[in-house]
Amino acid sequence: MVWFFAGGESRDDKFNVFTGSFIRFMKQILGDDFDLVKGIYFSMPMLNVAWALNNSQSPVANPRKNRITEVAMQQLISDSCFPDTRLVIVSSSSGSVVAAQAACYLAERNRDCLILQKPFDLALGATMISKDSEIYRRLLDYKKKGIIGKLIYDDLQDEGDSSNAIGGSSRRQAWANAFGLMVPFLSRKFSGPSFLNTNPIKGHLHRKRSHTVQKALDFVEVLLVKHNLAGDHYREKAKLLLEEESFKLRSEKIMESKST
């Protein structure tokens, strides 16, 4: 079973181009073995980002009493989850922070393999979680102990995306980085364009990629083909979809160039 934690611009039924395309592709490939984690989003995207900035350094102290982590957990271990289920958690952007928190929560509850008998996999895409953070070290520890299977990080970060790992190792560092991203002309660390620039051509790379179908195809290729997270059957289905959708994108580009 593959569960997806979408980014902060998402709602339970409203998505940007990347998120909507990724959900559609994964549903085509996996059918009922794929679903979106719902009920974890605030109505304002900035609140989702703020929650992620505040929680990208360490596991929350009491995840059972945290509304977001508890709502996520209840979906991960719902009636469709059996002890022999192969659970895969994939995520993007600020949703990766919720995913990491939920993964720590699940790992702690599953130390005696009472929920899952197999290690679960975790993919953190376009994430603000830093490898220097306590939460990432905790995830590595769960992996070392065999509670987490694959932990995918590097393959899902866009080269040149200055928002990667901005959560740092402290909240102060996270908010300082966020301020620098938003107003780079006042920052020594970051350069333009501003993260607030959502223009699909001249905007920040993180925001530009969220406007593309290609990012969804890249995620599918890394998760289901390169790392084969869902098994050989779905790997072959993913290859066919990637070929078909890539052909569509190339055809659209040719048509656009001819029209101009």
User: What are the pLDDT digits (tens) for 191-249?
Assistant: 999 999 999 899 999 999 999 999 999 999 999 999 999 999 999 999 999 999 999 99
> Looking at the 3D structure of the chain, how many domains does it have?
1
Structural domain for 216, as ranges: 2-259
pLDDT band at 260 (very low <50, low <70, confident <90, very high): low
The region of weakest confidence among 77-81, 161-165, 198-202 is 77-81
Query: Does residue 154 register a pLDDT over 80?
Result: yes
Query: Does residue 126 register a pLDDT over 80?
Result: yes
Residue that is written with structure tokens 């908010």 in the block = 175
Provide mean pLDDT across the span 37-45: 92
Tell me what pLDDT residue 81 has. 74
**Which pTM value belongs to this model?**
0.94
